[in-house]
Amino acid sequence: MNSGLIITVAISLLLTIIISVSVSKSKKKKQIRFLDPLNSLAESKNCKISAYDIWNNSIIGMDKTNHFLFAIQKMKGDDKAELVINLTEIFRCRVAESSRTSGPKEGNLKAFDRIDLVFTNKDKNKADKIVEFYNSNTDSLTLTGELQLAEKWCVLVNNGIAEIGK
pLDDT, one tens digit for every residue, the chain (166 residues): 588 788 888 888 888 888 877 777 666 666 666 788 899 999 999 999 999 999 888 899 999 999 999 999 876 666 778 999 999 999 999 999 887 777 666 567 777 888 899 999 999 899 999 999 888 877 777 778 888 999 999 999 999 999 887 6
Q: What is the pTM of this model?
A: 0.74
Q: Rounded distance, CA 81 to CA 97, Å? A: 21
Q: What is the CA radius of gyration of the chain?
A: 21
Question: Whose CA is closest to 151, among 133, 139, 136, 165?
Answer: 133
CB 165 within 8 A of CB 92: no
End-to-end alpha carbon distance in the chain: 69
Q: Rounded distance, CA 84 to CA 99, Å? A: 27
Q: Rounded distance, CA 60 to CA 45, Å? A: 15
Q: Rounded distance, CA 132 to CA 137, Å? A: 12
